[in-house]
Amino acid sequence: MIKVRRLNQSELVINAELIEQVEATPDTIITLTTGKKIVVLEKPDEVVEKVIAYRRACHNACLDDNIDEALTKRRS
């Protein structure tokens, strides 16, 4: 999930896995895989950076769990 701001400054949390595309027209429009479009204040590059950070956090958590599990098995 990533946090973005609508044009009226209200905060919105969206599922980063559902983002299909991000475009500037000149407002930033996030299109979800459901077809829903969300207009946000963030620039497209900012949205992309948030998605990358979200995915890194998810993958790092999986890697950390796998390493901990492997070390536990190895010590047994």
Residue 23 belongs to domain with CATH number: 2.40.50
Which residue range forms the structural domain that includes residue 26?
2-75
Whole-model pTM?
0.78
Q: How far is CA 31 from CA 44, 61, 66, 73, in A?
A: 12, 27, 33, 44
- The amino acid occupying position 23 is E
The predicted structure's pLDDT at residue 36 = 98
The predicted structure's pLDDT at residue 42 = 98
State the Cα–Cα distance between residues 70 and 73, nearest whole angstrom.
5
- Structural element, H or E, at residue 37: strand 37-40
Q: Is 34 helix (H, G, I), strand (E, B) or coil?
A: coil
Domain tally, the chain: 1
The predicted structure's pLDDT at residue 21 = 98
The predicted structure's pLDDT at residue 14 = 98
Predicted confidence pLDDT, tens digits, the chain (76 residues): 999 999 999 999 999 999 999 999 999 999 999 999 999 999 999 999 999 999 988 887 666 555 556 556 655 5
The predicted structure's pLDDT at residue 75 = 57
